[in-house]
Structure 1
Amino acid sequence: MVEQTERPDILTLGVLNVDVVMELSHKIIGGKIIGNEISLNTGGHGCNQAIGIARRGVSVGILGKLGEDAFAVQIKDTLAKEGVCLNLLLDAHSTNTGLGIIMVEKEKKNTYIDFLGANYQMTPEDIDSFESYIKECKMVVIHLGFSTYGAALRLIELANKYGKTVVVNPSSSTDMEEALLKQIDYLVLNYAKASSLLDMAIDNLKGARVAANLLLNQIKKAIFVQMDDQGVLVATQEEFTVLDAYSVSTTADMSGVTDFFTGVLSAELVNGAPLSFAAIKAHRAAMICAGKIGVYTAFPTKEEMDAI
């Protein structure tokens, strides 16, 4: 675990939730679907990315808002245990902490239900209140979703003002104009996010190459396309590199995979790792997540990541 620091090297912004993950059976009794297993853990894109960073030994602080409730206590306790700096968390006084419900059924796509709650209250003015942290960090890592969109734009603006590296992993529901893309150093996508961003079907390496080629001139440094069991595409102005997939015995649950990939990737990059090394390390960590049901409970430990 990395020690909490007052001025972390990386700041991350994204949704903060408690995740309820239910593994469904095929049993229906009295018109009700019966669950096999259930877990309740800290989650949300912001938390997942921060934990990935912390488990690579890099100091990280998380920006966001929580309600004044038991879920907020759980999130803070988990992040503190992971060594994430909590100084940039704010209280939302009129709503509850975010909650995500993930229903996992074998051989079917997951069903997601989100109550975003306090996440909606994160504002550009809140970001301004932490300008000194932004000025002193090395990198900002952002999951660009609609609930924190205004705050994210302001964070990107301030990061550019102070010459900080900007890593963005956009939501599938988020539009990105060229003016915004030009402020991003590293863009992290998967098939779904690339498809949404370009309004075209992308589900293989050929499509990933097309997507990267269309976007590359608008990004400062590189695009990473996390292709799950097909590996990773790393695209720069100089070259396109395809890194082989890390094999796992089974793919049980893809929840949180791209978040953890983004966190580990960012930690490696801030430490000066070459792009391909950072990408393959992040991909292997992400595929370990995919081999287990759940989100937080599926994240590989520091020791597991050191071994891959």
Structure 2
Amino acid sequence: MDEQRSPESRQQPETRQPETRQPTVVVVGHAARDLVLRADDLPAAGGSAVVEERIERLGGKGANIAVGVRQLHPSAAVALVAVLGDDAPGESGRREAVAAGIDVAHVARRGDTALLVDVVTGEGERRLLEHVTPESQLTPADIDAAEAALAGADVVVLQLQQPADALVRAARFAFEGGARIVLDGAIEGDERDELLSVADVVRADAAEASILTGVEVATRDDVRRAAEGLLGRGARIVALAVPDEGDLVCWSGGERFLPHVEQRVVDPTGGGDAFVAGIVAGLLLGAEPGRIGEIASEAAGSTVQRLGGHPELSPPAEQE
């Protein structure tokens, strides 16, 4: 970006009053067809297993986040920038997104829809199979077509499993329009530094946090050091996963640890997507950082209690 917000100008977390006009959110990320299969046990090589439950619907991290934001903040206008295939699963996914209240004007249609197969055992163990082709990924041309939406948004979520050139271009439009930018995941190279320089919020799991910061993340102290590094780059809020424990939300002058839910996890798929949706909802509500983390953690905890990554969330108390 030609002009970057200085870390000093972005250090204090911003507590805003709830929006009086309709807030706008744009999610840049992946859309796919989800096939979720639950079996009591996985078969050995050459064997078979009975599928106890099967679900097919719109999925992908970008689509899940967009749907989650809409559920948590029903008054928000939520647009998805993604790719669905020019095929029957793509059309079905588009219709599901519309039914969920998502603006799909900037969902490109080409090739085959990406397929995500989520195989879950009765003990909540997951195996994920992905068929994601290059044509199902966003291009700079797709981003250019969404320039007006990105430049006019209040919050833009960049799901970092997309090609770097498309992400940087989206960040540029969002930054120039004054949006609050939420990064989800990790990216390497020069693009990482450029995206971190304009991020208001950074969300990552432990492996992603290591990629972003160079800190090997295994303990809560490791997570704290990684978060401090990201805050030093200018982020207002950093939310990082502590392996097997929970999530640590940090901001200038404060932090809050949010333990994982105590209930048995049915399927971990989509927990991180719901967490990001919760962050966005908290931002739109003008909540303080600790409360934003709480909303996000509650959304994630709810999602992992159900099969599949598709969220089924209720607005937080502030929105009811």
Q: State the TM-score, normalizing by the size of structure 1.
A: 0.85
Structure number with greater CO (CA < 8 Å, separation at least 6) is: 2
Q: What is the aligned counterpart of 1:301 among 299, 306, 313?
A: 313
Pairwise CA distance, 1:32:
2.2
Pairwise CA distance, 1:109:
4.9
- Residue 117 of structure 2 aligns with which residue? 101
Pairwise CA distance, 1:245:
2.6
Are the aligned partners of 2:269 and 2:309 in contact in 1 as well (CA < 8 Å)? yes
Q: Confirm or deny that 1:276 pairs with 2:290.
A: yes
> Residues 164, 301 of structure 1: CA spacing in aligned structure 2 closer, same or farther, 3 A cutoff?
closer
Q: State the TM-score, normalizing by the size of structure 2.
A: 0.82
**Equivalent pairs, count:** 294
> Residues 174, 306 of structure 1: CA spacing in aligned structure 2 closer, same or farther, 3 A cutoff?
farther
Equivalent residues in 2 for 1:79-158, closer than 5 Å: 79-92=97-110, 95-107=111-123, 109-117=125-133, 120-145=136-161, 147-158=162-173
Equivalent residues in 2 for 1:44-55, closer than 5 Å: 44-55=60-71
Pairwise CA distance, 1:229:
6.7
> Residues 81, 211 of structure 1: CA spacing in aligned structure 2 closer, same or farther, 3 A cutoff?
same
Runs of 4+ in 1 over 6 A off after TM superposition: none
Q: 1: CA distance between counterparts of 2:120 and 2:242?
A: 20
Are the aligned partners of 2:185 and 2:208 in contact in 1 as well (CA < 8 Å)? yes
- Residue 188 of structure 1 aligns with which residue? 203
> Residues 101, 28 of structure 1: CA spacing in aligned structure 2 closer, same or farther, 3 A cutoff?
closer
Q: Confirm or deny that 1:208 pairs with 2:220.
A: no
Letter in 2 for 1:19: D
> Residues 86, 293 of structure 1: CA spacing in aligned structure 2 closer, same or farther, 3 A cutoff?
same
Q: Residues 135-180 of structure 1, C-alpha deviation per residue, up to 9 Å, x if partnerless?
A: 22111011111x4432111100111112211001024x75563233
Q: Confirm or deny that 1:245 pairs with 2:263.
A: no
- Residue 19 of structure 1 aligns with which residue? 34
Are the aligned partners of 2:38 and 2:121 in contact in 1 as well (CA < 8 Å)? yes
Q: 2: CA distance between counterparts of 1:223 and 1:21?
A: 31
Letter in 1 for 2:56: L
Pairwise CA distance, 1:248:
4.0
Q: 2: CA distance between counterparts of 1:193 and 1:107?
A: 26
Unaligned runs of 5+ in 1: 1-6
Pairwise CA distance, 1:188:
0.6
Q: Residues 170-214 of structure 1, C-alpha deviation per residue, up to 9 Å, x if partnerless?
A: 24x755632331121110112232134345542332221121123
> Residues 81, 13 of structure 1: CA spacing in aligned structure 2 closer, same or farther, 3 A cutoff?
same
